[in-house]
Amino acid sequence: MNQIFRQSQLFAFLLIFFFISPIIAEQGASKKIVIDSAMTFTEATAGTKAPKKVLDSLILLTVDYYSYDGKLHRGQLLINKAVEKDIRSVFNLICEIRFPVKKVIPIVKYNWDDDASMADNNTSAFNYRNIAGTDRLSNHSFGRAVDLNPFSNPVIHLDGSVNPKGAKYNKNFPGTLRESDQIVKKFEGLGWRWGGKFKQYKDNHHFDKEG
Ligand SMILES: [Zn+2]
């Protein structure tokens, strides 16, 4: 009887050790950080029309941020090597003050469709494309522009229409950019322009720095 009891105890112990403890460990890890993007460079640039020279100037930067669920997330931003230091510095502040960022995933996930990425409130940088409505290459084409929480910070045209469609610019909503905002000031201090100050239209999610 005693031996049977010991055997069942041992069985219970082994069950916990081999089956339950890895689940507990995994839950602990996922509580720490939520992975939004974990691509390779090749995956993150697949299908782009950018020439090799441009691709060679890019890096795939891993960035951490608190999302709207209050959890620490990890994403990736394709940027020009020349602005790596700036972007690290901005994301350090984003983490420090817990400025919420919805998600940061290379735009290849949206088949290079800027509208789809914006509608998903996705933060992104590199996209080899023209400035919307023009035939001039955008600073996004060189990884020198970042769009931050684009659905919360839509483009507002002179006629009042917004991009992405259906978005509202509510300055009291967390993760929204304003002139007095620390994130705007941080970018400007590093020599970046904020699209919220453009004259023709307000590109409230857009920051860029020309080379
Ligand atoms: Zn932009």
Is residue 18 domain-resident? Answer: no
CA 134 to chain centre: 26
pLDDT score, position 149? 98
pLDDT of 2 above 90: no
Q: How far is the CA of 98 from the centre of ligand 1 (A)?
A: 22
76, 147, 154 from 144: Cα distances, Å: 15, 10, 19
What average pLDDT score do residues 122-131 get?
A: 95
Q: How far is the CA of 40 from the centre of ligand 1 (A)?
A: 23
pLDDT score, position 211? 81
Token output for 68: 């709207």
pLDDT score, position 131? 87
Domain extent for 57:
34-208
51-67 pLDDT, tens digit per residue, is 999 999 999 999 999 99
pLDDT of 5 above 80: no
The average confidence (pLDDT) of the chain is 91
pLDDT score, position 88? 98
Is residue 160 domain-resident? Answer: yes
Q: How far is the CA of 70 from the centre of ligand 1 (A)?
A: 26
User: pTM value?
Assistant: 0.84
Q: How far is the CA of 108 from the centre of ligand 1 (A)?
A: 15
Is residue 6 domain-resident? Answer: no
pLDDT score, position 16? 56
Work out the number of other CB atoms within 10 angstroms of the CB of residue 147: 24
Closest CA to 73 of 110, 43, 39, 32: 32
Q: How far is the CA of 56 from the centre of ligand 1 (A)?
A: 21
Is residue 140 domain-resident? Answer: yes
- How many CA within 13 A on the CB side of residue 132? 10
Token output for 20: 């339950």
The values of phi and psi at residue 203, to 5°, are -95, 80
Q: How far is the CA of 141 from the centre of ligand 1 (A)?
A: 10
What average pLDDT score do residues 16-25 get?
A: 57
101 near 74, Cβ under 8 Å?
no
Overall number of domains in the chain: 1
Query: Please, which residues have CB within 8 angstroms of residue 127's CB and are 6 or more apart in sequence?
Result: 48, 107, 112, 114, 138, 140, 141
Whole-number Å distance between alpha carbons of 65 and 100: 7
pLDDT of 29 above 60: no
Question: In the chain, pLDDT over 90 holds for what percent of residues?
Answer: 79
Is residue 68 domain-resident? Answer: yes
* pLDDT level of residue 175 (50, 70, 90 thresholds): very high
pLDDT of 28 above 60: no
Cis upstream peptide for 164 (omega within 30°): yes
Which is higher by pLDDT, 2 or 76?
Answer: 76
In the block, tokens 């045209």 appear at 157
175 near 102, Cβ under 8 Å?
yes
Surrounding residues of ion ligand 1, Cβ less than 5 A: 145, 147, 206
Q: Which amino acid is at 116?
A: A
Is residue 204 domain-resident? Answer: yes
What average pLDDT score do residues 78-107 get?
A: 98
Query: Please, which residues have CB within 8 angstroms of residue 139's CB and are 6 or more apart in sequence?
Result: 145, 208, 209, 210
